[in-house]
Structure 1
Amino acid sequence: MRLLPTTSCVSGMRLAKPIFNEEGVILLGRHVELSQSLINRLQQLGVDYLYIEDPDTEDVEVEDVLSDETKRRALTEIRTHFGLFMEATAKKKFSRAPTLGKTFGDLMKMIIDDISGHRGALIMLMNMNVLNTYVYQHSLNVSIYTVMLGMANGFNREELMVIGLGSLLHDIGKTKINWQLLQRPGPLSPDEYEEIKKHTEYGYKMLKDEPNMPLIAAHCAFQHHERIDGSGYPRGIKGGEIHDYAKWIAIADSYDAMTTHRSFRRAMLPHQAMEILFTGAGTLYDTKKIAFFRDNVAIYPIGVTVKLNTGVKGVVTDINPSAPQRPVVRVLTDEHNRRISQPYEVDLTKQLTVMIDQVELA
């Protein structure tokens, strides 16, 4: 399979991975042939990249860390509970969810179990082939990224449960914000931005007294927009005043926001998002945590087309866990962009003078 921008897909191509809706239900199955009208519709729905069947990479597979059952359960629970809060907000009514802690605690156990089966796996993009339902999918993505980071850090199961719940529900306070304001494609006024910033305080208040909900999870919702130089919100606290879990969630939250389609911009690829994250190392984010995150992210995801410094082009077919920035590339064209009759693979961990020069988006 090959990862292509939806804008580069053409009629007649076939899906290598299914398309899911906001509840994790398959809308378009694997092997479905794309028409131009389908491609246009997927673009309108915010799908920026697709995994496409390709004879040169038919042996390449991208394995999901969550089972379809867990993914469906997660998106259904998030959508249901967040939806109830949003509905109450729209009607200006007070709402509580007495089973929130139990429901999401059980869900987190499923997520941890699934990810444990892929222990040592690198963080891959979670937004490919998923319709644009930002709040729901984003909450799940941030939780997956954060739990994977926790496992790589050696967290025990209890610690994974706490940071997992904190990351899964970090944006629950957004259910108290006017939905039209959250979806606004253009720039916000200062007053509108101040209103959106309140989601951290709303989230803390919603979670802090919830049965079966760790208090630290509430603090994760409260602090995930704080920054180590004090430039964050809502309190502008610094460095050691910010809980370590919130620092991890801040990185995962920012990364997923950048690599997800938004109404005002297309999704970035991991190497682009990583460059931006590193500009904030030492000021916005903890430098050691950013470096650790980089070492656990597939910067060049499997299936993406890259150009090497030798001038040849190919597709990433495998990731080296010990050096994710130096994957295995199957070379398909020569330095003059002519197809070669015998594709070959280059392991960048073994050919140290060869490196990725750029990611090809066509």
Structure 2
Amino acid sequence: MRLISTKSLKPGMVIGRTIWNGAGRPLLQDGVEISDIIINRLIKLHILYVYIDDQISQGIEVIETVPEKVRHQAIQEIENSFKELKKQTGKDITHCLDMKSKQFVSIIDDLMTYIFESKEIVTVLSDAFIYDEYIYQHSLQVTIYSISIARELGYNAEEIRQIGIGAMLHDVGKMLIPSDILNKPGRLTNEEFDTMKLHAKYGFDLLRNLHTISLLSAHCAFQHHERLDGSGYPRGLVDFEIHPYAKIIAVADVFDAVTSNRVYRSKMLPSEGMGIILEGSGTLYDERVVMAFSKTIAVYPNGSVLLLSDGRRGIVCKQNVEKPDKPWLRIFEENNIIMKATYEMDCNVTNISIEKVELDYVMSE
């Protein structure tokens, strides 16, 4: 299957991967032939990319690190818990969090099992599920990234569990932010942004007195917007003042934020998101964390069409575990001519570089 932008879809193309709605029901089933009505519907839903099945991508598989069913159940659990928290006040919120903590730990343990057992680098497809509210899917994806980084850094299982809990609840303070600010479709005013920034302290205050959650996990909520150079919030901490767990979640949080659709902007490709993280390495984000993250994430997901520096085009057919930014390609075009027979190339053993991702590529007639 091949990844393609919705604006480049043509009637007659065939959906290669099912898209699910927030209720866990198929929104668009794989195998369905695309029509103008479907294309318009996808665009209206702000779905930027879909997978299609076509001749040049035949046999290329896309497997998420966490299975769709497990991922959906986890997001539903996070959503139900957060919505229940939002109804509570005062000490009732703390009690509710304590009661929910076992469910959160159970989710973390399931995620750890899948991530630890996976022999592939992490692939998360944010367009596979369509949710009305960003925060629930974001919480899960940040958790998946954070666990993967922590494993790469060599943390033990209990430490990774604490990091996972901190990641899953890093935005829990947003439940105390007014909905009109939290879900505003445009840019926040300075005053509104000051209110939004309070979610870090609110989250810490909610979590630090819990008997069932480590204080270190609470600090993840408090410090995930701090930056090495002191430019972050809420306290403007610098490098040595920021807990190592929070440094992990900071990277995972930013990457997922820029590679996910928001009401006020379209998402970046994973390679573009990684570029943002690499640009801030050593100044905003911890270099060790950035390096670990770069080794765990699929920068070019399977099915992506890439243009090479020598003019050839290929589809990512499998990942290179040692060098995630140098995947294996199925070369299908040379000198703008579709080849009669494709061949595979390991980008890690050639001096030819990747020029750009071309998800708007359409085969010439």
Quickly name the TM-score band, shorter chain normalised.
Answer: over 0.9
CA distance in structure 2 between the aligned counterparts of 1:50 and 1:201, rounded to whole angstroms: 38
Structure 1 stretches of 4+ with a deviation exceeding 6 A read none
CA distance in structure 1 between the aligned counterparts of 2:22 and 2:88, rounded to whole angstroms: 20
- Does the 8 A contact of 1:296 with 1:324 survive in 2? yes
- Does the 8 A contact of 2:299 with 2:325 survive in 1? yes
- Does the 8 A contact of 1:125 with 1:270 survive in 2? no
- Output one character per residue of 1:265-290: Cα deviation in whole Å (capped at 9) or x when no partner: 21111111122212211211112221
Q: Hey, what does 2:340 align to over in structure 1?
A: 341
Q: Hey, what does 1:223 align to over in structure 2?
A: 223
The alignment covers a number of residue pairs equal to 357
CA distance in structure 2 between the aligned counterparts of 1:138 and 1:291, rounded to whole angstroms: 22
Paired residues for 1:1-362 under 5 Å: 1-88=1-88, 95-96=93-94, 97=96, 98-118=98-118, 120-132=119-131, 133-335=133-335, 337-350=336-349, 352-362=350-360
SS at match of 1:340: strand
CA distance in structure 2 between the aligned counterparts of 1:194 and 1:125, rounded to whole angstroms: 31
CA deviation after TM superposition for structure 1 residue 239, in Å: 0.8
- Does the 8 A contact of 2:65 with 2:124 survive in 1? no
- Opposite residue 78 of structure 2, the aligned amino acid is I
CA deviation after TM superposition for structure 1 residue 68, in Å: 3.3
State TM-score, norm by structure 1.
Answer: 0.93
- Opposite residue 213 of structure 2, the aligned amino acid is M
Q: Which stretches in structure 2 are left out of the alignment for 5+ residues?
A: 361-365
CA distance in structure 1 between the aligned counterparts of 2:29 and 2:268, rounded to whole angstroms: 25
- Output one character per residue of 1:99-128: Cα deviation in whole Å (capped at 9) or x when no partner: 12111111111111122221x421223313
- Opposite residue 159 of structure 1, the aligned amino acid is E
- Does the 8 A contact of 2:300 with 2:325 survive in 1? yes
SS at match of 2:126: coil
- Output one character per residue of 1:182-204: Cα deviation in whole Å (capped at 9) or x when no partner: 22222211100001101101111
SS at match of 1:261: coil
SS at match of 1:349: helix
CA distance in structure 2 between the aligned counterparts of 1:340 and 1:265, rounded to whole angstroms: 37
CA deviation after TM superposition for structure 1 residue 23, in Å: 4.4
Q: Which stretches in structure 1 are left out of the alignment for 5+ residues?
A: none
- Does the 8 A contact of 2:149 with 2:289 survive in 1? no
CA RMSD of aligned residues (A): 1.9
- Does the 8 A contact of 1:308 with 1:355 survive in 2? yes
State TM-score, norm by structure 2.
Answer: 0.92
- Does the 8 A contact of 2:163 with 2:245 survive in 1? yes
- Output one character per residue of 1:75-101: Cα deviation in whole Å (capped at 9) or x when no partner: 111110111233458xx9964414121
- Does the 8 A contact of 2:3 with 2:304 survive in 1? yes
CA deviation after TM superposition for structure 1 residue 309, in Å: 0.9
- Output one character per residue of 1:57-85: Cα deviation in whole Å (capped at 9) or x when no partner: 12111112223332132011111011123
- Opposite residue 71 of structure 2, the aligned amino acid is K
Between stretches 212-221 and 120-129, larger displacement belongs to: 120-129
Between stretches 307-316 and 17-26, larger displacement belongs to: 17-26
CA distance in structure 1 between the aligned counterparts of 2:7 and 2:36, rounded to whole angstroms: 10
SS at match of 1:204: helix
CA deviation after TM superposition for structure 1 residue 235, in Å: 0.7
- Output one character per residue of 1:277-336: Cα deviation in whole Å (capped at 9) or x when no partner: 12211211112221221222222111111111111112111111111111111112222x
CA distance in structure 1 between the aligned counterparts of 2:129 and 2:68, rounded to whole angstroms: 13
CA distance in structure 2 between the aligned counterparts of 1:147 and 1:332, rounded to whole angstroms: 36
